[in-house]
Amino acid sequence: MTMLIVMSTDNSIIMTSDKRVTRTDSFGKVIKVQSDDYKKIKIIKGKYIVSFAGRTAIAEKAFKFIDENIELLEYDIHLFFKNAFQYGKTCFENKFPNIEPISVFFLGYIREDTNYLIGYSSDDDYKGMPISASIKVRAESLVMENLLLNETQNFISTKISSRPSFYQTDENLSVLFSEAIKRMNDQMIGKTTYSVVLTSNGVTELHT
């Protein structure tokens, strides 16, 4: 499970996620923390970035599909990634038929000086929708998720409003997103983060 913040700025796409992976029981309660060093953002060919929240097993199969079919990527970008996410979901449903296959993916890329940030959800079988920014939280309860989401939105908005010029840089925004995640007090959300910044010049990774 995770907390994930994504944003498209004038000339970049930023994704920041915690690095925690947990094991839960059938009721969604945390049994144990499996890792605090898991990258939930994938860099593809130095031109595309994909992040996820939800079932790690779905993402792992989706990323395997991407790696094994990478030669098909340029034919139809959106169909390629939709097929990858659907493949991951199908694999999960076959293996865990009684567990809800909850997952959200974000795809970011830049083409001809235009930013593309698209959100995909298992709720609509990964139809895909262009967005400018999003915060996704997977916590121990829906009430906690909504609380953490509202707190994070207020925290980020207040910080940016107080120092708008300072937060015009990608690195400072990434640090802010990391700080917002580390403030969370929930077993499903870790205290280590990973950020990827995509610009027309390439990809920058930040570990905090």
* Mean pLDDT value across residues 15-23: 86
Residue 175 structure tokens: 């640090």
pLDDT score, position 25: 58
57-114: pLDDT as tens digits: 999 999 999 999 999 998 899 999 999 999 999 999 999 998 889 899 999 999 988 9
Q: What order of strands is seen across the sheet that includes strand 114-121?
A: 41-44, 48-54, 103-111, 114-121, 129-130
Q: Is the pLDDT of residue 13 over 90?
A: yes
pLDDT number for residue 186:
78
Quick check: 1 pLDDT over 80? no
Task: Note the pTM of the prediction, 2 decimals.
Answer: 0.91
Measured torsion, CA atoms of residues 141, 145, 151, 156, in degrees rounded to the nearest 10: 150
Residues 154-163, mean pLDDT to the nearest whole number: 96
Position 185 confidence tier, pLDDT thresholds 50, 70, 90: confident
Please say if the pLDDT value at position 142 is more than 90: no
Show the domains of the chain with their CATH numbers.
3-207 (3.60.20.10)
Q: How confident is the model at residue 189 (pLDDT cuts 50, 70, 90)?
A: confident
Cα 8 to Cα 28, 61, 78, 81, 129, distances in angstroms: 32, 26, 18, 19, 14
Query: Quick one: pLDDT at residue 188?
Result: 76
Average pLDDT, the chain: 91
- pLDDT, tens digit, for every residue of 27-73? 566 666 677 788 999 999 999 999 999 889 999 999 999 999 999 99
Task: State yes or no: pLDDT of 157 exceeds 70.
Answer: yes
pLDDT score for 99: 87
Q: How confident is the model at residue 139 (pLDDT cuts 50, 70, 90)?
A: low
